[in-house]
Amino acid sequence: MSLNAREQQEVDAANASGRKPVVFVHGLWMLASSWQPWRSFFEQNGYATLAPGWPDDPETVAEAREHPEVFAGKSIKQVTDHVAEAVGGLTQQPAVIGHSFGGLITQQLAGRGLAAVSVPIDSAPFRGVLPLPLSALRSAMPVLGNPANYRRAVSLTYPQFRYSFANAVSESEAERLYRTFPVAGSGVPLFQAATANLNPATEAKADTGNPRRGPMLLITGESDHIAPRAIAEASYRKQRRNSSPTELQEIPGRGHSLVFDSGWQEVADTALAFVKQHH
């Protein structure tokens, strides 16, 4: 078993509650704690929530910044399998909501038939998603610019975070977000995503055809630099061929920080409405 004590406790609590579960999946450079406002909001609306980390994630940002090396070497499959283990421990099939690489993992879990409903937000691309916008390349260059970063944990400088995550908020809010949230991130997933269309055996792929995929809402921030609308639209074109309902919704004026900046509530309202409709 790879779940830590907190994760197992959250699985057990969700099962004991009898409520429909919602699983939140964070992306690169974030921790599970970044979902806390969403968890409180969904719990107030009658759901049980859990937020598995990535394997070996520290519990706090302070601890993570003291030991950035623990993030190195984590691959997409390792993370997806870890979250799938948490999902597999639930007695009811959950809604799954994920941001950035957590959005890709959300699509993978849905493709495995593990989600009752799913909401990928500003999702990383998977094999078959062809657009590679310049802003996405620039956002990834702190990692992809050095092949040695493949096995390293890489932290973002403030200017890098400002461009890639916090381009659509004020300078003062961007500084507050940088102090509060980002930790080091594994280089592996970015290299996997960057080479997905060249590698038939890539881990950065999603089964979009599984009839048990369930309803899916893809959310994209209009001003996102890491995962611009072109990526969301290409993902949607793949996913909409599925027999289950598939929708795409753009949130105006929002960047990649849309799930944890001061405007998170608007995005959470959009996700909750879709989950309530289908779960």
Which residue segment(s) compose the domain that 48 sits in?
Answer: 5-278
> Using CA atoms, how far apart are residues 268 and 257, in angstroms rounded to an integer?
13
At 58, which CATH number?
Answer: 3.40.50.1820
How many folded domains does the chain comprise?
A: 1
pLDDT of amino acid 1: 63
Please state the pTM of the whole predicted model: 0.97
Q: What 3-state class would DSSP assign to 183?
A: coil
117 - beta bridge partners? 95
The residue to which tokens 């799954």 are assigned: 96
Tens-level pLDDT at each residue, the chain (279 residues): 689 999 999 999 999 999 999 999 999 999 999 999 999 999 999 999 999 999 999 999 999 999 999 999 999 999 999 999 999 999 999 999 999 999 999 999 999 999 999 999 999 999 999 888 889 888 998 899 999 999 999 999 999 999 999 999 999 999 999 999 999 999 999 999 999 999 999 999 999 999 999 999 999 999 999 999 999 999 999 999 999 999 999 999 999 999 999 999 999 999 999 999 998
> Using CA atoms, how far apart are residues 103 and 122, in angstroms rounded to an integer?
7
Tell me how far CA of residue 99 lies from CA of 28, 118, 165, in angstroms: 9, 11, 12
The full 3-state SS of 211-235, as one line of letters, equals CCCCCEEEEEECCCCCCCHHHHHHH
96 - beta bridge partners? 23, 118
- Ranges of beta strands (E only) in 172-275 are 185-186, 216-221, 246-251
Contact by Cβ (8 Å): 114, 84 = yes
